[in-house]
Amino acid sequence: MNAPSFDYRLFYPQYWSTWFGFGIWWLLAQLPYKVQMKLGSLLGQLMPRLGKRRIAIAKRNIELCFPHLSESEQKELLRQHIDSLGKVFFEMGIAWFWPKKRLARLVTVEGLEYLKEAEAKGKGVVLMTVHFSHMQLAITFLNIFHSIDCIYKRHTNPVHDFIQISRHKRFNPKTTAIERKNMRLMIKSLRQGRAVWYAPDQDYGIKHSIFLPFFGINAACITATSPLTQSGNAILISVCAIRKPEGGYKLIISPPLDNFPTDNLIQDTQSVVSNIEKMIMLAPEQYLWVHRRFKNQPEGAPNLYAADLLRQTK
């Protein structure tokens, strides 16, 4: 789907509060970057009270994925993660509302040549990424330097939907926003030599997944990456943005994954999971641990998010 044309019905009274909310968001996004990050840290301090269950899930995930860390180290990782979550609101505003020149000053890019080489050959690229808390910024950064197509989830509010799609498209008129279930359009874009943003790191159910170790814990891992790459006659490249301690971001584009895809779906999916783990370990505190990554388990396995376990983690 390309950016929708504006419809006067978006100004109906039932949407005035949405426009007002976006107006406030736009104003906050004009603040200096350092001020926004400080406000994000303050917001993060409220999250254990406002989102107790989600924080409990994050704590449980950290316990499962990093058993080698001491209790104090796990607590520190959780604290850093909560701080990162508090910045999400402001980083999304930056991604959607900052002008191109201001955004470009905020990021350094590593590995852009791999995308340019694929483009010169007319080769499609599956841009495999992970759900870092500032993923919207990563999409925007990359679209400044290289036209890509984005996967998105349709919003029920048409004003929100209009804004999110137009924000994705604003720097590159060729950019297409593809609904995440529209595999046919993804494949079409890849065959046309486009780079398609794709995040296969979460639990999307067991229908199209197999159980593989994710940080040593059985997880439902989606198998679609290999068939998507093969059907699109594409290559697979990992990409992510890391928030730097001193401020700003580093966009990291890795070389194409060798020998991918193969005729072994399990091996390919394991390669995907291994690369996902590598990206997460670049900045584990910035990963979206509030997602129930292990909600689906093999038959007979215990519920890793049972109420008593979450109570113990609070």
pLDDT digits (tens, 9 = 90+) for 248-294: 999 999 999 999 999 999 999 999 999 999 999 999 999 999 999 99
Tokens for 108?
């350094």
> Which DSSP string do the residues of 177-230 spell out, in sequence order?
EEETT-HHHHHHHHHTT-EEEE---S---STTEEEEEETTEEEEEE-THHHHHH
For residue 3, pLDDT beyond 80? no
Q: Which pLDDT belongs to residue 312?
A: 61
Q: Average pLDDT for residues 62-79, to the nearest whole number?
A: 97
The pLDDT tens digits of the residues spanning 18-56 come to 999 999 999 999 999 999 999 999 999 998 888 899 999
The pLDDT tens digits of the residues spanning 91-103 come to 999 999 999 999 9
**What pLDDT band is residue 310 in, cutting at 50, 70 and 90?**
confident
CB 254 within 8 A of CB 237: yes
For residue 244, pLDDT beyond 70? yes
Q: Which pLDDT belongs to residue 308?
A: 61
CA 116 to chain centre: 22
Q: What's at 157, amino acid-wise?
A: N
